[in-house]
Amino acid sequence: MEIIAKTMVFKKRQMLIVLISLLFASCNESPSCKDFKEGNYNIVSENALSDFAVIRNLDSQIETNEYGDKTYYSIEWISECSFISMFDDTKMVLNDEMRMINSDGGLVVELLEVLDDDCISYQSYVKNFKELSLRKGKFCRIE
């Protein structure tokens, strides 16, 4: 009888340890696309000559280049990790290239892989011309 009681106490301790371990593991979830939907970022693009600063919320984005010029976008999320951005003609005058990109469905941005707590890789392209316009890079969070 004493052996059975000790075995039950041991099993209860094991179960308690497992539950505590699961609790801590769930608190330390790794970042995902949803963690990069809003915030301030630097864009480092493989194809660009310079980096851009980005301020993004759920439905808009502002990019600022090294000269302080701003480009305004409206954003529509099409999945957890993808959105379409259109140049926002209510906040700036669009040039011919911007109007053409908007008329071709906008820019598709796909968040690909979380690199660490602060960076995620991406690819972007004009919706109807992926092969001709594909760009890759990463968004890195800035404070």
pLDDT in tens, 5-20: 565 555 556 654 544 4
The pTM of the full predicted model, rounded to 2 decimals, is 0.75
Q: Are 10 and 2 in contact (CB under 8 A)?
A: no
Residue-level pLDDT at 8: 56
Strands 70-79 and 82-87: antiparallel
Q: Are 88 and 104 in contact (CB under 8 A)?
A: no
Residues whose CB is less than 8 angstroms from the CB of residue 92 and which lie 6 or more positions away in sequence, other chains included: 70, 71, 72
pLDDT in tens, 18-51: 444 444 444 445 678 999 999 999 998 877 667 7
